[in-house]
Amino acid sequence: MTRSARLLALIQTLRRHRHPVTGDALASGLGISLRTLYRDIATLQSQGAQIDGAPGQGYMLREGFVLPPLMFTLEEIEALVLGSRWVNSREDPSLASAARDALAKIGAVLPPHLRHELDTTTLMVGRSDAPGLDRDVMALLRKAIRSEHKVQIQYRDLQDSVTDRIVWPFALGFFDQVQVLVAWCELRGTHRHFRADRIEQAQVLEERSPRRRTVLIRDWRQQQGLPATDGI
């Protein structure tokens, strides 16, 4: 591995960790000596990388570290454009706007030739023909998932019967035709999937979900027989 490749690998390793990593662990992970790692850390710091090191704890990349240019391959840029255009095509203005803003931020730090790829990529996404969704409800559900609050919903099932339920929402599934809320249902006492277009009313409650979102997701994955780390 060349020195420049090693420095990139070091940054990527630090980026993967949310907690401090010891120099010893980093050095053995990269197959270099501790002394060389110290030199590499110093090199990265001199180039502007905000790496915090504390005796007894380890190293951590400070939040907000700006991505250096040349960080994306053409395929990665196409994936980003395709993903953001897909989000943009959904019936959710706040997410669509966020996708456009995120793409603009990425474009701002790309070197010119990659920015050109970003602007001219011709991967298209068709408009969603999903049943009319209540935009406010979708924004409300995302907010409740983030803050781990219970939600009271009025849900119309396939037999057209309406029930009031209190659920602990933890995921939103976006499919071609419908969007599905995944939540723990207090009424049924188990995980349930709710089609977003069948939620007639929703209200975020003051009360927090008794279980953390990560725990709910883990249990749900287990129930569905899904691997632990795949995207939903």
Partner DNA sequence: ACCCGACTATTTGTACTGGT
Partner DNA sequence: ACCAGTACAAATAGTCGGGT
Q: Looking at beta carbons only, is 4 or 159 nearer to DNA?
A: 4
Stretches 16-24, 77-85, 137-145, 152-160: which one binds DNA (CB under 7 A)?
A: 16-24
Q: Which of 201, 86, 205 is nearest to 134 (CA)?
A: 201
Nearest-angstrom CA–CA distance, 145 and 208:
10
Q: Looking at beta carbons only, is 32 or 82 nearer to DNA?
A: 32
Helix ranges, 62-156 (H): 74-89, 93-109, 112-120, 135-147
Nearest-angstrom CA–CA distance, 68 and 53:
21
Nearest-angstrom CA–CA distance, 65 and 72:
16
* Nearest distance from C-beta of residue 18 to DNA, angstroms: 16
Among positions 151-210, residues that touch DNA (CB under 7 A) are: none
Q: Choose which of 39, 62, 208, 212 interacts with DNA (CB under 7 A).
A: 39
Q: Quick check: 35 binds DNA (CB under 7 A)? A: yes
* Nearest distance from C-beta of residue 123 to DNA, angstroms: 39
Residues 168/219, Cβ–Cβ less than 8 Å:
no
Residues that bind DNA (CB under 7 A): 3, 6, 22-24, 32-36, 38-42, 53-59
